[in-house]
Amino acid sequence: MAAFGSFALLIALALAAYNLLAGAMALRLIATGQPVAISPERLADTARRAGIAGFLAVTAAAFALIWSVFTNDFSITYIMEHSNRALPGAYKFSALWSGQEGSLLLWAWLLAAYGFVLRLTHKTDVKLYAYAGTILAGIQTFFLAVLTIAAPPFALYNGVIPDDGNGLNPLLQYPEMVIHPPMLYLGYVGFSVPFAFALGALMMRYPGEKWIKITRVWTMVTWLFLTAGIFLGMHWAYAVLGWGGYWGWDPVENASFMPWLTGTAFLHSVMMQEKKGMMKSWNVWLIFSTFLLTLLGTLLTRAGLVSSVHAFAQSSIGTWFVVFMGIVLAVCIFTYILQRSHLKAEHHLESLVSRESSFLFNNLVLLTACFVILWGTLFPILSEYVVGNKVTVGAPWYNRVAIPIGLFLLFLTGVGPLLPWRATSFKSIRRNFVIPTIALWATVIVCLALGVRPWKDGAFDYGNFFALVAFSISIGVFTAIMSEFLRGAGVISRQTGKNLIVSTWLLTRRNTRRYGGYIIHIGVVIVVIGLAGAAFNRNIEKELALHDTMSIGPYTLECVGFTQDSNLNYNSEYALLDVSKGGKKQFQMTPEKRVYLASEQPQTMVAIHSTLPWDLYVVYEGTNPDTGQPIIKAFLNPLVGWIWAGLVVLVLGTLFALVPPLSPATASLRIPASRPIPTEPALKGGH
């Protein structure tokens, strides 16, 4: 199977290279109109077909690797290092992305799959798709070259083939690890498609903004995958790493967050280009940057430039990525300089207070956030280079620098949709902002009265202060969004006589993009409320003998037993804890500690009882070597469940925004002929 896999990869590389060269040649011939023996259109079509065949070849290689994992073919080094016989089936599947070579193969396969769909739908716009397909082939050629030369997944093991493998990293033996990396990679790889369309459209001086409409679905789906991937990673960190948190500003977490920020900026500013013909250069560079940041993330993970908890898959392929990023950047700059006259804006902003400028400021803040994270991630390297002294840039730095920027962004989330296009007036500001402002300040007062105060033990407390600001702005933004829904629904209700709920549904269906976007904003608000809860985390650690108790918040934990278990994959020891509240037993928790046999590495399995107000999070830390007593650490983490609930709303909003709006025929309302439809902003459409 190793030979089959390697051969499939070689075929895929040859097909991708042909796709790139033939495609580029055909497009050049079409552009110059030179007469040649072969029709450029036919040449371009052979390139496209090579791309389709390339997908089949990469699929064959991926299949070969998975087959080898399931058949325990330890003659392949990768399988020997990342799997073992006792590994459960689902985790054998995830062995595909548990190491350097496998994850690059997954990347190549996903890219081939995206390209396959793109090439099958080429009739939408044959020429533009030919450009995009050729650019994707260039990216694919790079990844397949790395897989063939620098990181071959089918390399054979030197020496006596062992009976069993080293096993999968215990950190990865968790259900979410089966879906978190593919989601993240779907997001990373997916941004190659809008990048290819943007670069292609610029190269061919594509008239109009149709390319943006074509790539809108690609971009949103990709953004959705990346969002889901990031949140799944957060949940994995929360449930597996056992430190009670979900985001540690680890360089690899940061690397996934940066393209998300620029991708989010692109999704917003691209609306300006669609509606007003503005910010064309800006949008092109946003998508270029997003793609480059996905590569930078991979570079940071793979090259070992920065220390990370995610260093499962480090190797020396960093140079390949640096060179490729250099080439991509050079191509982008060259194309931009050559074609920049094509990107002249048709209109300019007319006012600092308008929907357009709110998009611009939103972009500004998102890009500043991206810069801050990049700066924090790379500063240790910079410091070592400049003063020879490596420093740590950890959570305290990010909390002070990134959180204020994030809160400002949240504020703009509420303000932006309330501003009309072009310019606004005092009257409209007063009408739109009074209720959200009252809600915001009322929340400040309620929070202060409830004890959420920006000081603790006589000193200023940043955590509480940020929580107070986050809660207040969140409620203000939520009120602003709901008032937008109600205003639009009220108009429809008056016209149709339907109740507000049905009217809201109709309103949302008539402009899924705008109101889907609002639902996404509500999701963001819920997530922020959840994140702000971290300011009030509590924890307690105690050695617990049999029937000893410990209390945290309203809960009392009583130890009712300790036991051990084992299977072919791991040995485990765990505590049985009865949890009572108000003197009544509520449920039992079983925090666990495992030692995996193949790798001989320990792993914590946290017990979590999640409710809307808080999570009870219990870690079995092992036994005290001096006393022999087990040690239990319990956390009470307020509002964590809101983060995951916010993700659900966010996903629903994105899906809603992807649904085509009701067509005019089906959206027809029972409006009396004598009554003209008022031109309320809510009915004009457009987010």
Cβ-based nearer residue to other proteins, 337 or 386: 386
Q: Report the candidate in 366, 364, 372, 371 with the shortest Cα–Cα distance to residue 397.
A: 372
Burial of 642 (0-12, 13-18, 19+ CB in 10 A): buried
Strand partners, 580: 556, 585
Residue 409's Cβ-side half-sphere holds a number of Cα atoms within 13 Å equal to 22
The HSE-up count of residue 146 (CA atoms within 13 Å, CB side) is 27
Give yes or no for residue 254 binding other proteins (CB under 8 A).
no
Binding-site size, other proteins (CB under 8 A): 66
Please report how close the Cβ of residue 365 comes to other proteins at its closest, in angstroms. Answer: 8
Which residue, 108 or 606, is less far from other proteins as judged by CB?
Answer: 606
Phi and psi for 381 in degrees, rounded to 5? -70, -45
Measured from the CB atom, the residue of 206 and 620 that comes closer to other proteins is: 620
CA distance 273 to 288: 16
Complex with other proteins: residue 580 or 629, whichever CB lies closer: 629
Dihedral sign for Cα atoms in the order 648, 651, 654, 659:
negative
Q: Which is nearer to other proteins, 1 or 343 (CB)?
A: 343
CB-based burial label for 519 (10 Å; 0-12, 13-18, 19+): buried
Pick from 208, 451, 582, 676: which binds other proteins (CB under 8 A)?
451
Q: Which of 126, 155, 323, 448 binds other proteins (CB under 8 A)?
A: 448
CB 60 within 8 Å of CB 88: no
| The binder of other proteins chosen from 371, 501, 545, 678 (CB under 8 A) | 371
Among residues 3 and 438, whose Cβ is nearest to other proteins? 438
- Select the residue interacting with other proteins from 633, 637, 649, 656 (CB under 8 A): 633
Q: Which of 274, 548, 578, 621 binds other proteins (CB under 8 A)?
A: 621
**Phi and psi at residue 390, in whole multiples of 5°?**
-80, 130
Tell which residue, 118, 115, 109, 111, has the closest CA to residue 61. 109
Torsion sign, CA atoms 131, 132, 136, 137: negative
Does 545 help bind other proteins (rule: CB under 8 A)?
no
The verdict on 421 binding other proteins (CB under 8 A) reads no
| Closer residue to other proteins, CB minimum distance, 307 or 549 | 307
Residue 607 found at the interface with other proteins (CB under 8 A): no
Q: How many residues does the chain have?
A: 687
Confirm if 620 and 543 have CB atoms less than 8 A apart: no
CB of 32 or CB of 564, closer to other proteins: 564
The SS3 of residue 598 is coil
| Rounded Cα–Cα distance for residues 528 and 535 (Å) | 12
At closest approach, how far in Å is the CB of 466 from other proteins? 14
Residue 625 binding other proteins, by CB under 8 A: yes
* Residue of 73, 250, 592, 615 interacting with other proteins (CB under 8 A): 250
In the block, tokens 């050695």 appear at: 543
- Our CA angle for 328, 334, 340, nearest 5°, is 120
Indicate the pairing of strand 570-581 with strand 592-596: antiparallel
Question: Does position 623 bind other proteins by CB under 8 A?
Answer: yes
Minimum separation from the CB atom of position 468 to other proteins (A) = 10
Closer residue to other proteins, CB minimum distance, 599 or 623: 623
The reply on whether position 624 binds other proteins by CB under 8 A is yes
DSSP state letter for 124? G
Q: How far is CA 187 from the centre of its chain?
A: 6
Nearer CB in complex with other proteins: 191/574: 574
Kindly indicate which of the ranges 313-321, 422-430, 564-572, 643-651 contains the residues binding other proteins, using the contact rule CB under 8 A: 422-430
DSSP state of 278: -
The answer to whether 309 contacts other proteins (rule: CB under 8 A) is: yes
Return the residue of 42, 213, 400, 538 that touches other proteins, per CB under 8 A: 400
Minimum distance between the CB of residue 376 and other proteins, rounded to whole angstroms? 8
- By C-beta, is 13 or 372 nearer to other proteins? 372
**Position of tokens 């994959």?**
569
Minimum Å gap between C-beta 532 and other proteins is 17
Single residue of 208, 458, 582, 628 touching other proteins by CB under 8 A: 458
Are 304 and 311 contacting, i.e. CB atoms less than 8 angstroms apart? yes
334 binds other proteins (CB under 8 A): no
* In the complex, least distance from residue 486 CB atom to other proteins, rounded to whole angstroms: 23
CB neighbour list of residue 67: distance below 8 Å, 6 or more residues apart:
1, 73
Residues 346-365 interacting with other proteins (rule: CB under 8 A): 347-353, 357, 360-361, 364
Q: Looking at the DSSP assignment, which residues form a beta bridge with residue 672?
A: none
Q: Report if residue 383 touches other proteins, rule: CB under 8 A.
A: yes
Range 269-308, binding other proteins (CB under 8 A): 307-308
Check binding of 435 to other proteins (CB under 8 A): no
Q: Are 54 and 16 in contact (CB under 8 A)?
A: yes
Q: Scan for tokens 């509500």, then name that residue.
A: 522
User: CB atoms < 10 A from the CB of 317, how many?
Assistant: 21
**Minimum CB–partner distance for residue 500 and other proteins (Å):** 29
Of 455 and 587, CB closest to other proteins? 455
CA 157, 61, 170, 578 torsion-angle sign: negative
Identify the residue among 153, 165, 167, 244 touching other proteins (CB under 8 A).
Answer: 244
For the bound state, the minimum distance from the C-beta of residue 166 to other proteins, rounded and expressed in Å, comes to 21
Which residues of this protein are in contact with other proteins, per CB under 8 A? Answer: 242-245, 248, 250, 307-309, 347-353, 357, 360-361, 364, 367-368, 371-372, 375-376, 379, 383, 386-387, 389-397, 400-401, 405, 423-426, 441, 444-445, 448-449, 451, 453, 455-459, 619, 621-625, 631, 633
